[in-house]
Amino acid sequence: MQIGILGAAGIAVNSLIWPVRRRSDVRVAAVASRSSAGAYAQQHGIERSYDSYESLLADPEIELVYNALPPSLHAQWSIAALRAGKHVLCEKPFTMTAAEAERVVAAATDTGSRAIEAFHDHYHPLSAWTREFVAAGRLGSIRRLEAVFTGSTPFAANTLRHEPSLGGGALMDLGCYPVHWLRSLFADTPTVVGAEAVLNPAGADLAMDAELAFAGGVHAGVHVSMEEGVPLRSTLSIDAERGTLLVDNIVFPSAGHSIRLEIDGVPHAYTVAGQTTYDHQLEAVLGALRTGTPLPTEGADSVANMTVIDAIYAAAGFERPWA
């Protein structure tokens, strides 16, 4: 299978180029960028480069497009790729709003092609272990959950992570992950009880705290921050009837992670074997495209995640002119 990359993005090196090189059944064959396609292709050994996104989508040999553009361009170019007969693996967040996500999903349905959101962590055995453990009910009734993702990204004007019109902000860049962790543990889409943001000078959220409520009265907190000096941290903690669970480093478990569990006063510690999250994601995507098997990070799941993000912004009092 031949993959084309939309956008000469730094993230694509670890998320796609290296995992592809560890396989023999797929290759990154093309990249498109309006400014640096040629240099990017030469640097990373990519055969073909295009100076326009349209040219890559017209390449008849490309079967899967990796959309690594800014979130403000995700919907437009994912839909264009689908209409060009390509499958799409789109970086998170899937779109700018739930309404855009619905349009992408509708285009996938209309064309028969697939639009998959790149929640790479979801496909790692650590995330699978966590979902299966919670579903088994060994902790008894859940009282509260806390989902945290922080990482220092100091403010810089007119940059992707800090410009709201491009899809910047802590909730979009980081918060989409913990929202997805929590949603993956329950069957229902949560209600947003409240939210509070710390703003950067451009008006994007530098940090966000949100309170979610799931069916049955289970409440969950989401905390995300890009504030200068905060540690890189991705954790999910659960307080329940029989004990507690803390899963540390959900997003990048191959760099080191831990599972700390206490049941009925007895402590336990685990780790889960696996490759990088991106290797597991690529395996899942390629397998699904070959067999037609639905994936848990496409379709209604992508719309639901953006629905919660929209509601958090609304609860925090954000005016989003593109929403």
> Per-residue DSSP letters for 118-136?
--GGGGSHHHHHHHHHHHH
Contact 261, 268 (CB under 8 A): yes
Chain mean pLDDT for the chain: 97
What's the pLDDT tens digit per position in 266-317?
999 999 999 999 999 999 999 999 999 999 999 999 999 999 999 999 999 9
CA distance 170 to 115: 24
User: What pTM value is reported for the model?
Assistant: 0.96
Query: What is the average per-residue pLDDT within 96-100?
Result: 97
Catalytic residue among 48, 92, 122, 180: 92
- Per-residue pLDDT at 323: 65
pLDDT digits (tens, 9 = 90+) for 15-68: 999 999 999 999 999 999 999 999 999 999 999 999 999 999 999 999 999 999
What pLDDT score does 320 carry? 77
Q: In the annotation, is 86 catalytic?
A: no
Distance of alpha carbon 192 from alpha carbon 235, whole angstroms:
20
Instruction: Please name the residue that has the structure tokens 């995330």.
Output: 127
CATH 3.30.360.10 in the chain, residue ranges:
121-280+305-315
Q: Which CATH number fits domain 2-119: 3.40.50.720, 3.50.50.60, 3.90.1010.10, 3.30.750.24?
A: 3.40.50.720
The domain covering 121-280+305-315 belongs, at the CATH homologous superfamily level, to Dihydrodipicolinate Reductase; domain 2 (3.30.360.10)
| Confidence at residue 319, expressed as pLDDT on a 0 to 100 scale | 81
Contacts for 55 with CB less than 8 Å, ≥ 6 apart: 32
Sheet with 115-117: strands ordered across: 48-50, 27-32, 2-6, 64-67, 87-90, 115-117
Q: How far apart are CA 181 and CA 223, in angstroms?
A: 13
Residues with Cβ < 8 Å from 144, sequence gap 6 or more?
Answer: 218, 219, 220, 221, 238, 239
- What pLDDT digit, counting tens, does each position of 128-153 carry? 999 999 999 999 999 999 999 999 99
**Numbered ranges of CATH 3.40.50.720 in the chain:** 2-119
